[in-house]
Structure 1
Amino acid sequence: MTNTEPVTSFASLSPDMVLDALDSVGLRGDGRLLALNSYENRVYQVGMEEGPPLVAKFYRPLRWSDEAILEEHAFVAQLVAQEIPVVPAMQLEQGLTLQEFQGFRFAAFARHGGRAPELDNPDTLEWMGRFIGRIHAVGMQQPYVKRPALDIFTFGEEPRDYLLAHDFIPMDLLASYKTTVAQALDGVRRSYDRAGAVRNLRLHGDCHVGNVLWTDAGPHFVDFDDSRSGPAIQDLWMLLSGERNDMQRQLADLLAGYESFCDFDARELYLIEALRTLRLIHYAAWLARRWADPAFPAAFPWFNTQRYWQDRILELREQIALMDEAPLWPV
């Protein structure tokens, strides 16, 4: 049996409690409740007695402070004020976006439909680039104070230390993982050194296709729960895929739209594979931290197996080589 951080269980968050929580702030559900795909928090589409369905998010206890959640809500509200297509938390009791019911903090959001964007379409990429540029133009206006930055410590060294301090990695792979993750983090540091003093700004933080809803009117960016401060390229690189030539073309399309609203520092191209490496380390530690939550073994049965850690070692070795390659185009 492995060790994980103490986790306040979501087990007591029953459908009745979800409906009672919403009722406590004047939102009367009609009994229709659909659990949406979320593991970090618990998120539900809730049918209402009057009006369209809402989305209710119940925050994982102990993850963010109230102040950090409200910082995110305030950032999204700033984006809405600039007519950027994001989904803000609703103002509920006493005009507050964050509510509490029987120990659970929650927020409500309007439901927005849509489909995944077609990232093989240059016009779609340019369109998304324009809105990411607009998000970043607002994001650089002021810093986060309560939310941590996305950097080598928070996404690399601290997650690495957590994994090595707990009994997740098989003993026969532990030395290999230690050596490989150390080499990978050395590569990340070299990448940051090559990039130099790049600007940090408030980001979406998890800008992949699953967090973009596309309609005929364009994109809606959803789920700012992982919003942090970091380099602008963090919100762009996860939209790139395929071979090097494919990523060069995709990035050119994104930046054609992005730079209509926000300058891009080409030195950040040195950080693409470094940020990918940090995300891989952080993701493994995230699964480890959440392993006591019954939803995680059910959803990720392949985690914590011999094959899983063998694959992570190979993955990091590939990243070590990629970080030493030239950026997607000359800087």
Structure 2
Amino acid sequence: MPFADLEPAFILDAVESLGLRCDGRVLALNSYENRVYRLGMEDGPPLVAKFYRPGRWHDEAIAEEHAFALELAAAELPSVAPLAFAGSTLHHRDGHRFALFPLHGGRAPEVGDRDTLRQLGRLLARLHNVGERAAFRHRGSIGPESHGERPVAWLLEHGWLPPELEDNFAALADTLLDAIAACIERAGAVRTLRLHGDCHLGNILWRGEQAHFVDLDDCLTGPAVQDLWMLAGQGEGARRAWAWLLEGYGEFREFNLAELHLVEPLRSLRLLHHNAWIARRWQDPAFPAAFPWFAGPRHWEEVLARMQEQLAALREPPPVPA
């Protein structure tokens, strides 16, 4: 188990090895991929300790995450950047790697509100202006192979589909990937840049009428629309949400409307990638506890239904901002 030895005493010892003094309070925060804790400090406000999942990223990739967060903070973007101790933001203790962050509270933004979506659009445009200044060397890119073909192959190879659904899943996945490729072709050549990568509402904290971006653990290279589509939603109201997001975005950066052809491909890839991610982590006790329905046949029937819905969406014109 990757975090089996991550007991409170170990956590406190690791943090105090940096010269800090904890007051003994350790509160686990909501996190699956890594382990994140709020720590009380004797001489200052609480800090957040993030312990990285062993084997997921190598040190160079984590260093790029931290450097990007610090670059965003230097550009006065409201993001939560790691703290440096003895000139380093990544620390090692008995086989674990961890980083410390300031504690930022807040709530999820109200994305049905025009002013909120315009602000998020402005902030993401500024984030992308920073993102295009340089390129990642050690982090991945989002695309059909990494987020579609490989997850599908892994699920099938490791027997996650009920036997009676395997053939249907494999055939539907092939059709879905072909439709994704067709949409990408229609979009044409688009610029890629460094992105937040996982810009959903859980990674945005709203405090004092200001949004703060948190958790760059999935930062990667891809098209700008990857950081926008999850905020626009789906179905009724999405066209209006797109209009408000892009209204704000356009104040700081031009948006290539051809990237709207990528919205449903990216949604489809997230569906495939997300299911493979849970399956890959199933031996971590946090995952069966958080997703108890995942291993049942009903879930996979629902996945097939969602894949069918996505196939229909991929064949429709892209969203047009209202």
Compute the TM-score of the two structures, normalised by the length of structure 2: 0.98
Cα distance in 2, alignment partners of residues 78 and 238 from structure 1:
24
* 2:180 counterpart residue number: 188
Q: The residue matched to 1:177 in structure 2 has which SS?
A: helix
Task: In structure 2, give the amino acid aligned to 1:149.
Answer: S
Partner of 2:294: 303
Superposed CA deviations along residues 231-262 of structure 1, whole A, max 9, x for unmatched, are 10010000122524x11111111111111111
Cα-to-partner distance string for 1:134-154 (whole Å, 9 max, x where unaligned): 000000111111001011111
CA distance in 2 between partners of 1:209 and 1:307 (Å): 27
Task: Please state how far the C-alpha of 1:295 moved relative to its aligned partner.
Answer: 1.2
Equivalent residue for 1:205? 197
Residue 319 of structure 2 is matched in structure 1 by: 328
The answer to whether 1:155 aligns with 2:153 is no
Moved more, 255-264 or 61-70: 255-264
Q: Which amino acid aligns with 1:311?
A: E
Secondary structure (helix, strand or coil) at the match of 2:56 reads: coil
CA distance in 1, matches of 2:75, 2:144: 32
Instruction: Check if 1:232 corresponds to 2:224.
Output: yes
The alignment status of 1:82 with 2:85, answered yes or no, reads no
Counterpart amino acid of 2:32? Answer: Y
Give secondary structure in 2 for the equivalent of 1:53: strand
SS at match of 1:310: helix
Aligned mates of 1:43, 1:50 — CA distance in 2: 21
Equivalent AA in structure 2 for residue 324 of structure 1: R
Deviation at 1:164, TM superposition (A): 1.1
- 8 Å CA contact retained: 2:232, 2:245: no
Aligned AA (1:285): A
The amino acid of 1:17's aligned partner reads F
- Over the matched positions of the two proteins, sequence identity in percent amounts to 52
What one-letter code is carried by the residue in structure 2 that aligns with 1:49? E
Deviations 1:188-213 (A, max 9, x none): 10110000111111110111111111
SS in 2 for 1:213: strand
| Alpha-carbon distance between aligned partners in 2 of 1:158 and 1:261, rounded to the nearest angstrom | 36
Rounded to whole Å, the distance in 1 between the matches of 2:21 and 2:277 is 35
Residue in 2 aligned with 1:63? 56
Alignment equivalent of 2:102, drawn from 110, 124, 128: 110
| Equivalent residue runs for 1:308-323 within 5 Å | 308-323=299-314
Does residue 1:267 correspond to 2:258, yes or no?
A: yes
In structure 2, distance between residues paired with 1:151 and 1:242 = 21
Q: Which runs of 5+ in 2 are unaligned?
A: none
Q: 2:303 and 2:53 mapped to 1: Cα distance?
A: 27
Residue 263 (structure 1) shift: 1.3
Q: Distance in 1 between matches of 2:2 and 2:64?
A: 25
Q: Which of 80, 89, 105 is equivalent to 1:97?
A: 89
Residues paired across the two proteins, number: 321
Which residue identity does 1:129 align to in structure 2? G
Q: What is the distance in 2 between the residues matched to 1:173 and 1:158?
A: 19
CA deviation after TM superposition for structure 1 residue 217, in Å = 4.0
- Please list every run of 5 or more consecutive structure 1 residues that lacks an aligned counterpart in the other structure: 1-7
Match of 1:36 in 2: 29
Find out whether 1:257 has 2:248 as its counterpart: yes
Q: State the TM-score, normalizing by the size of structure 1.
A: 0.95
Deviation of 1:27 after TM superposition, in Å, equals 2.0
Given candidates 121, 126, 129, the residue that maps to 1:137 is: 129
- What is the distance in 2 between the residues matched to 1:214 and 1:242? 22
Distance (whole Å) between structure 2 residues aligned to residue 255 and residue 74 of structure 1: 27
1:31-77 Cα deviation digits (max 9, x unpaired): 11110000000000000011000000000000011000000110111
Equivalent residue letter for 2:44 = G
3-state SS of 1:274 partner: helix
Once residues 77 and 66 of structure 1 are traced to their aligned partners in structure 2, the CA distance between those partners, rounded to angstroms, is: 16
Deviations 1:65-103 (A, max 9, x none): 1000000110111111110000101001x2100000010
SS in structure 2 at match of 1:261: coil
How big is each residue's C-alpha offset from its partner over 1:209-233, in whole Å with a ceiling of 9 and x where there is no partner?
A: 1111111241000000011001100
Instruction: Confirm or deny that 1:280 pairs with 2:263.
Output: no
Give 1:78's aligned amino acid.
E
Amino acid at match of 1:67: E
Report the Cα distance in structure 1 between the residues aligned to 2:231 and 2:20, rounded to whole angstroms.
36
Match of 1:49 in 2: 42
Query: SS at 2:50's partner residue?
Result: strand
Opposite residue 26 of structure 1, the aligned amino acid is G
Structure 1 residue 9: Cα displacement:
1.9
Corresponding residue SS for 1:239: helix
